[in-house]
Amino acid sequence: MEQGRCTAIVLAAGQGKRMHSKIQKQFLEIGGKPVLYYSLHCFQESPLIRDIILVTGEEMISYCEQEIVKKYGFSKVRKVTAGGKERYDSVYAGLLCCQDTDYVYIHDGARPFITEEMVQRGYEAVKRNNACVMGMPSKDTVKLADSSGYVKETPDRKIVWNIQTPQIFSYDLIKKAHEGIRKKDMTAITDDAMVVEQESGVQVRLVEGSYQNIKITTPEDLDVAEVFLKKIEKM
């Protein structure tokens, strides 16, 4: 069977307010390179990915083109485009830049530890299901709270997953879902799987990512990332 055409949309427009840094989290360095470098490198090297769309803040487009794409030779980056106010606006901007593609990998640029194995697992799943998300079973007990801050419910940990990226979809499915939901109240939307769930009724498949596939959000995450990177480099 012919391989489907895959585009990676890498989101690097986040402000990173919890990092308490003047530098946006995706441009902070681990191992001497920007956090953003690592996911772009994975997609650049993957034989499954044909194109990369990099979505960043409008004021960072020139920086990304010169100091990220050109500097590190990311030839698969076809477009560096401006994101929007919210994550879903940035995703939609990326979707509009895609050309002649079958599947899209939507990935947070602040998750540096995506691997080729994850790319492959996601591809196999999206071919069968048209919609899948990376994640891992929760290692912690999760409590659902009521509006007053009391425990309302404790779901069975065996059915609770912590969701990661990439989130991978048939291009036509995710684009149509985003177009539909943009006409509605999107304040509760936190990821692209929710868009598909609400707009299409298509079931989203859970695919195992990695406990190392962390999102760099706080200063402590940078410390953890440095440890992971040293471990990976020794392998």
The C-alpha atoms of residue 164 and residue 214 are separated, in whole angstroms, by: 8
On the question of pLDDT at 105 being above 80, the answer is yes
Mean pLDDT for the chain overall = 93
pLDDT of residue 37: 97
pLDDT of residue 14: 72
pLDDT of residue 53: 98
Supply the DSSP string of 139-202, one letter for each residue: SS---EE-TTSSEEE---GGG-EEEEEEEEEEHHHHHHHHHHHTTS--TT--SHHHHHHHHT-P
Instruction: Tell me whether residue 176 is exposed, middle or buried, using C-beta atoms within 10 angstroms of its C-beta: 0 to 12, 13 to 18, 19 or more.
Output: middle
The C-alpha atoms of residue 115 and residue 215 are separated, in whole angstroms, by: 14
On the question of pLDDT at 190 being above 90, the answer is no
In 3D, which of 144, 125, 142 has the Cα closest to residue 134?
125
What structural domains and CATH numbers belong to the chain? Answer: 6-230 (3.90.550.10)
Across residues 148-176, what is the average pLDDT? 96
On the question of pLDDT at 194 being above 70, the answer is yes
Query: Model pTM?
Result: 0.94
User: Per residue in 60-101, pLDDT tens?
Assistant: 999 999 999 999 999 999 999 999 988 999 999 999 999 999
pLDDT of residue 175: 97
User: Per residue in 29-71, pLDDT tens?
Assistant: 999 999 999 999 999 999 999 999 999 999 999 999 999 999 9
Across residues 108-123, what is the average pLDDT? 97
On the question of pLDDT at 185 being above 90, the answer is no
- Percent of the chain whose pLDDT exceeds 70: 96
